Amino acid sequence: MTALAGRGYAAAMVHLRIVAPHDLAEKAAELLAASPTVCNLVVLPAAARKPPGDVILCDVAREEASVLIADLKELGVHREGSISLEQIDSQISVAADRAERAARGAPSDAVVWEEVEARTSESTELGGTFLAFMVLACLIASVGIYLDSPILIVGAMVVGPEFGPLAGLCVALVDRRLDVAKRSLLALVVGFPVGISAAFLLTLFALATNLIEADFTNSSNLLTSFITAPETFSFIVAAFAGAAGVLSLTSAKSGALVGVLISVTTIPAAANIGVAAATADWSDWRGAMAQLALNLTAICLAGVATLFLERRLYRRRRIRHFGDAARTAAGLPERRR
């Protein structure tokens, strides 16, 4: 046992709150009680009023959270009650440490698919806040192009909210969720033209007020000309960023997402489309269009491939779980095709 385990410290746990009618709650409680990856199981009979039923509270090792939630859904809990989950940042418990060690794999590699779907679903909504961030990101990128400032370009990449709908589209394609795919595409199809239009209008204003020269062109900039010069490495970096972005969303290492955002040239390319159109620099316009299309394509392809692989690994884990004693205790079939 490690030093941390000896102190009973477990961080990678998921807390479940289950509401279900009494008959289903009994089966769910049997399922959870028989699983070695569950601890702190509490059953509150008749505690729920709407819908009426029992309330079950428990903590599950992150690696097995989606597998057990799938069992609960197989019992029909989500149809007649509800299943809520939240991440536990830290927990001081020897029992939790045992539950975590009983789960297969590393906690940092575990994917809680319900958490991923909820997180990406929130990011795909087309709303005023999303459009505001798109506009602000493109405006910052436009000024970065005027001043040939990589710092402002990086700032615009961080502000840009476009990775949310891109990740949502990847999840929708892997899970075959047409509704999520439509929402993600709508956010992208509306958001990018709005941001491009903002950059276009800002450039017209800058030209009218002599903030930039009438013959301005980004291709003559030394530090930001890469925006209009897509190449093989542009695709490669965008693909790497797409894979890293999806991994940051599906794992506990979400802090890596900031690095992903400043690795792709989607927002600067969108801004440069507006800038080039306002200055009638059609060579830069074509280059920026190609850069944007290349980055979006690479991110989506890499994101889908990464999610597909993770989904395959989850299905293998789920198939191995079909023979567990916990399913038998809950009355579920030993193996379901």
- pLDDT per residue over 296-316, tens digit each? 999 999 999 999 998 888 888
- Whether residue 80 is contained in a domain is answered as yes
pLDDT band at residue 200, thresholds of 50, 70 and 90? very high
Specify whether 262 is located in the same domain as 189: yes
Round to whole Å and give the CA distance between 8 and 191. 48
Neighbouring-strand partners of residue 88:
13
Q: Which domain holds residue 137?
A: 117-317
Q: What is the pTM of this model?
A: 0.81
CATH of the domain at 104: 3.30.70.120
- Whether residue 328 is contained in a domain is answered as no
Residue type, 20: A
Higher pLDDT, residue 10 or 94: 94
- Whether residue 74 is contained in a domain is answered as yes
pLDDT band at residue 117, thresholds of 50, 70 and 90? confident
Supply the pLDDT for residue 259: 56
Considering only CA atoms, which of 83, 88, 92 is closest in space to residue 55? 83
Q: 132: which 2 tokens?
A: 């505001």
Specify whether 159 is located in the same domain as 99: no
Specify whether 103 is located in the same domain as 140: no
Specify whether 188 is located in the same domain as 222: yes
| Over residues 27-56, mean pLDDT | 93
**How far is CA 290 from its chain centroid?**
26
- Whether residue 331 is contained in a domain is answered as no
Specify whether 54 is located in the same domain as 158: no
The SS3 of residue 331 is coil
Supply the pLDDT for residue 1: 39
Specify whether 203 is located in the same domain as 168: yes
Specify whether 125 is located in the same domain as 88: no
Specify whether 50 is located in the same domain as 177: no
Question: How many domains does the structure of the chain reveal?
Answer: 2
Residue ranges of E strands in 33-170: 38-49, 52-61, 82-88, 91-92
- Whether residue 225 is contained in a domain is answered as yes
pLDDT tens digits, 229-275: 899 999 999 999 889 888 888 875 555 555 566 667 899 999 999 99
Supply the pLDDT for residue 6: 45
Specify whether 50 is located in the same domain as 194: no
The average confidence (pLDDT) of the chain is 87
Specify whether 171 is located in the same domain as 234: yes
Round to whole Å and give the CA distance between 167 and 195. 19
- Whether residue 255 is contained in a domain is answered as yes
pLDDT tens digits, 135-152: 999 999 999 999 999 999
- Whether residue 332 is contained in a domain is answered as no
Specify whether 45 is located in the same domain as 157: no
pLDDT band at residue 337, thresholds of 50, 70 and 90? very low
Round to whole Å and give the CA distance between 175 and 121. 12
